[in-house]
Each structure stands twice: as structure tokens, then as C-alpha cells.
Amino acid sequence: MITSVWYGPGQPFDEAAAITREVFLDELGADPAHVFDQQDAYSYHLVLRLNGEPVAAGRLSYVRAGLGQIGCVAVRRRWRRQGLGDALVKVLLYRAWDLALRRIRVLAREDALAFYQRLGFVKTGESMEEDGVRKYWMEKETDDGTGDHCTHQCACAQGQDGGLDAGGND
């Protein structure tokens, strides 16, 4: 069974940080300053658990009125290619929609462009190089109706588990 845990702004998010560290720092060799930043304290952090084991994490940050940003989307290596990344982003998008963030952006690594395009994100044309990797800004509307069909009804109380329909959202 897939469950989720939200860590709200100001809450410790050690479980999410451990997954992020494993994927971005240990595997991809990213600079910690490009992964962990001042936004962490003001963001929502999401952890997906499969049968109780933390397997994926991501972050949702406020940018300005109506605009949010998804970042640090990470799935542990042995759990990849099972739809967990899709599920993670969909739950982050649902929370953004629930928080009245009608547009979401992400700074996507070049090797993740197809993943985000499949989920409806579009390149804005802006790109940059960071940690020796080309990255692109991508955006998506959150009020495109997909929130109405999200099988995961986010438990808005911070830090509470919420169930995911493993068959419909991964």
C-alpha cells in the first residue's frame, strides 16, 4: 500500500531530506547548495511510503501569489520505473491546486524533460547550467481539472498519513 506524509513549513523533514540526499547528492553528485536551500524551511515536503518504507520525496514551494514551484523530486533507485515519480508529482500538483497555486514551475534536468512533459509541463524556453547539467524551466497550470480526478485526497493536516490508490495514481 502506498501512503503519503506531508511535512509542513517549519516542520523537520528528515525523512524527505534523506531521500533527496541519497538521489541528488550521492547518485547525481549535485552541489548541496543547489539542493538544500532557504526555501526548505518555508516549503511543504512530501514523502511517499510503500508498505511503510520511504521510497520517494518532493517539495512544493510558494513563489508568489498563484505561482508555486516543485523541486527535489526523487525516487530511490530500486523503486524507479514503477510510477512512483508520476504519483509523487500528481500529489504535489494536487496540493498546489488546493493551496490556490494555479501555476506550477519546475527546474528540470535535461534527462527529466520527457518525464515532466508527460505530466503536462511545457518548457518556457529559459535554461541554465548547474552542476554541469543543462536544466530547463517548465510550467503547468494546476487548475486544468486534473485535481478533480486525483485519487489521493490530501490530508491537509500537516504530518498526517494519507492513502494513495496504488492502482490509479502510480
Residue with cell 486534473: 146
pTM (2 decimals)? 0.83
Residue 53 sits at the vertex; the CA angle it makes with 56 and 51, to the nearest 5 degrees, is: 110
Q: Where are the domains of the chain?
A: 2-151
- pLDDT tens figures, 36-80: 998 999 999 999 999 999 999 999 999 999 999 999 999 999 999
- pLDDT tens figures, 90-117: 999 999 999 999 999 999 999 999 999 9
Q: Are 15 and 3 in contact (CB under 8 A)?
A: no
The reply to whether CATH 3.90.1150.10 applies to domain 2-151 is: no
Q: How far apart are the first and last CA of the chain?
A: 11
pLDDT in the model for residue 156: 36
